[in-house]
Chain A
Amino acid sequence: MSRRWFLRKAFGMLLTMLAVSFLVFTILELNVDDVAVKVLGQFSTADQRQAWLQENGYTAPFLLRYLRWLGAFVTGHWGTSTYYREDVLTLIAPRLAASGLLAGAALLVIVPVGLLMGVIAGVREGSVVDRLVSVFAIVTTSIPEFASAVFLTALFVFWLGWLPGVSTMADGFHLRELVLPVGVLTLYSAGYIARITRSSMAEVMQSPYIRTARLKGNPLRRVIMRHALPNALITPVTVIMLQIPWLLSGVIVVEVFFAYQGFGTLLYQAALNTDIYLIEACTMVSVVVVVLTQVASDLMYAWLNPRMSFGSSGRAAGSG
């Protein structure tokens, strides 16, 4: 793991940000008139919209506007949201923290549940437990989040009356309000991790060194914990790391359904309201999150498998 590797990663991230930001700007350019409609309202006249676009610099040439935005963004001036009427930077920070909280809580449940189910099923391949875990995993990963959100709400809010129906955290943090969104995310994600862990674990359990360890008289528990698990975890860890960007910016359905004021709802509102600067900023944050989790994933990979090294291609690679 060299400094050069980190530099390459950072350079790759900047290049991606540049490309993505230009692409997003270009796409939004198609509807630039909509910005004025969103700001001035649907009943504003064409003259008023034109005047607003002019006043706010939207009539300047496309490339010039993009460069202006880029310059301001790099220097920390992320603009003002036309929908929320607030500074984009101050808007994003608490939303990202809220999504981080939801993602953290979800991972705290998803990872142990998924790994435990996968390990149990993988160790006893073909058993009833294995079959049950497999069926559960297939069923839960097949149900989209919006459907399980409706199902869990019907059960725990309308029928049993045990849980709150929305997770606005309007009066401060309430753990109870996290239960349903975390539940939906767990149902969707834990089964997937269980399936990956199961197949990885089953494969490792067939390896000669595990058989050797068993023949030496080591108890099964010790064989699993010391020999099988570290190797079997490599694939699930990659999958878990890939869940992080999804949990931070991709769980729009869950956040919107439970009115959770996170990064997902912010991006959703920004997109619906053609809030150009907010969409750009959210996209940039998403790129950073994706790249950072990739880096973390590579580091984790190397830690779990010391035979891995960071090659000159900038990717983690097996050294043989």
Chain B
Amino acid sequence: MSEPPARAAQWLRTNDGSRLHPAVEPLARDALQHRTDRRSVLRVLSWLGVSIASARGVLGMPAAGAAAGPAPRRGGTLRFVCSVQQMTDPAATTWIEASNLFRNSVEFLTYVDSDNVTHPYLAESWHPSEDLETWDFKLRAGVRWSNGDPFTVEDVVFNIRRWIAPGSKSPNRTTFAAITAIEPLDELRFRLHLARPVCSLPEHLYAATCPILHRKFEEQGANWPRNPVGTGPFQLTDYHVGRLAVFKRRPGYWGQPAYLDEIRYLDLGTEIATHVAALAAGQVDLLYRLTISELDLVERFPEMQLLTEPSAQTLVMRMQQDKKPFDDIRVRKAVVLSADREQMLRFAYRNYGVLGEHHHVAPFHPDYFRLPPVKRDVESARRLLAQAGYPDGIDLTLALGNTQGRYEQDTGQILQQNCAEAGIRLSLQVVPAAQYWTIWDKVPFGMTYWGHRPLGVMVLELAYRSGSVWNESHFSNAKFDAALDHALGILDPHERSAAMGDAERILQEEAVMVQAYFPKKFTVAGAHVRDFRADPQDYYRMDKVWLA
């Protein structure tokens, strides 16, 4: 960019042509003067309703995937190995796999790409008020549901009210707790009123539980697979939990039609080596997930595309603060101080990942704040245990379910050995993967897998805010909640990161969890599968995927 930064920023445009939010130009200037990371700024500009094309132009960032390749070919059936789970109510779904199925048929207000940039989707544009407490959205015109009904603001109002209702069983109730009212303005426009500023609101609207369902969803039985009405490019035509789901391209879709004729999701169980065998034999085209155990096997087959992506997914070995003996912070600290993070990453995940710092925010989260390094200190752990009344050590049990693979148990075994050095006799309670999810929030000490969230603040909001539905550690701290509130309202990535430092520090000081590392994500596809990118969140849109 040869133009001076002050002048270049004036080329920025919003998606609806309205005036720019006052924070936009200073943010762009900072990025152009290399004071802030451009990717972080692009992400924030997308929240503020700035056109991504204009932002990329001004910031000198070419569009992702802009490199010329062969023209996509239309047609074909893609066979995707993925759990076929119940998805009765998409707003209350608890599995990303299920969301990837209905993602073909029901759509979201916004779309967040794998670079974490938020794009218009069913919402054509949005703009926030200066204080970020009022957000105006405009919906895309001409969108029709698969049953022929026009898509209007009435559909959106139905969904958002349903998410935030006091009896809502959707995690959206926590995510959108700041929304106090939704006000329809006309057929295609609505306004959200917030109790506190939330700058990343458009990004939150692409969470797995935020698809926009038809306004008569509840009237018609509140069972989506039985009445699979959607605005999306595919239509559900066959569905058997635990076995098979088939989506076919829908004629009359409002956007660019999908390339594939059909997607067949095949549930082949939990044995991933079997999935790889099916791919090697040409029985399937794409696997949802690969674990570290099958990596060597896949690398021997040059005809398989190994897709990998850094991810903020992680294992959290959290302790419930209201249960004995974890109600004593000295016991929690002793466990955390005993843990050897480097050893866990090296031996349980062969160093494919980055170290965690016991606060669940990843170094590559844009709002991450670097705290002083975490050091292992077995002697202090012993001393703390003795002070807590356990001079001869203590017996603890860690529950885990290998929900993502055997590496969970390997990690637990390393913690077991680490703890032994400090006099903590840790036993592992290993339950079948499916069983773990019945106890994940009940056991005093448990190892839970958490999926990737694009922002650190998102995961802290879901998992550690007082009274949050998914708060499995029963952590409740007013200072922490206030730090989160503060961070949520700051647009400048630098300032937000500093505010997040407070939240991270509190989690570390309170020894809420052992959180050792963020493992990389792996998946694998046949060589003929094109334009399928690994997504850190495992959110897969299939309308651009094609078969060579």
Contact = CB atoms under 8 A, between A and B. Distances in A.
Interface of A: 31, 33-34, 37-45, 48, 83-86, 150, 153, 157-158, 161, 163-166, 168, 170, 256-259, 261, 265, 269, 272-274
B92 A41 contact: yes
B209 to A, nearest CB: 10
Contacts of A164: 278, 281, 283
Contacts of B111: none
Given A84-B242, A170-B244, A170-B264, A40 B169 contact: yes
A43 B472 CA distance: 10
Given A48-B169, A170-B264, A157 B277 contact: yes
Contacts of A150: 273
A170 B244 CA distance: 8
A42 B266 contact: no
B268 interface: yes
Interface in B336-379: none
Nearest to A164: B281
Given A42-B441, A157-B277, A170-B266, 15 more contacts: A34-B435, A37-B438, A42-B437, A42-B440, A83-B86, A85-B86, A85-B241, A153-B277, A158-B300, A164-B283, A165-B280, A170-B244, A257-B274, A265-B269, A272-B434
B94 interface: yes
B242 A83 contact: yes
A43 B470 contact: yes
B73 interface: no
Given A85-B241, A158-B297, A165-B281, A43 B271 contact: no
B169 A161 contact: no
Interface residues of B, number: 42
Contact of B438 (A38, A83, A157, A257): A38
Overall SS of chain B's interface: loop
- The 10 lowest CB-CB distance pairs between A and B, nearest first, are A165-B277, A41-B94, A42-B437, A259-B268, A272-B434, A165-B281, A166-B278, A37-B438, A165-B278, A34-B438
* Residue from A38, A85, A257 with most neighbouring chain B CB atoms (10 Å): A85
Contacts of A83: 86, 241-242
Contacts of B544: none
A290 B396 CA distance: 44
- SS class, residues of chain A in contact with chain B: loop
A43 B280 contact: no
Interface string B423-446: 000000000111101101100000
Interface of B: 86, 88, 92-95, 169, 171, 240-244, 264, 266-269, 271, 273-281, 283-284, 297, 300, 432-435, 437-438, 440-441, 469-470
A37 B437 CA distance: 8
A39 B266 CA distance: 21
A258 B275 CA distance: 9
Contacts of A261: 243
Nearest to B223: A85
Given A41-B94, A164-B283, A272-B434, A256 B86 contact: no
Nearest to A36: B438
A43 B274 contact: no
A272 B435 contact: yes
A37 B169 CA distance: 13
Contacts of B435: 34, 272
Contacts of B283: 164-166, 168
Contacts of A258: 274
A164 B277 CA distance: 8
B280 A45 contact: no
8 contacts: A38-B434, A41-B437, A43-B94, A84-B241, A86-B241, A161-B280, A166-B284, A259-B271
A157 B279 CA distance: 10
A39 B92 CA distance: 11
B533 to A, nearest CB: 25
B242 A168 contact: no
Contacts of A42: 94, 437-438, 440-441
A150 B269 CA distance: 16
A143 B88 CA distance: 43
Contacts of A41: 92-95, 437
B296 to A, nearest CB: 12
Contacts of B169: 40, 44-45, 48
Nearest to B469: A43
B76 to A, nearest CB: 15
B432 to A, nearest CB: 6
A218 to B, nearest CB: 52
Contacts of B284: 166
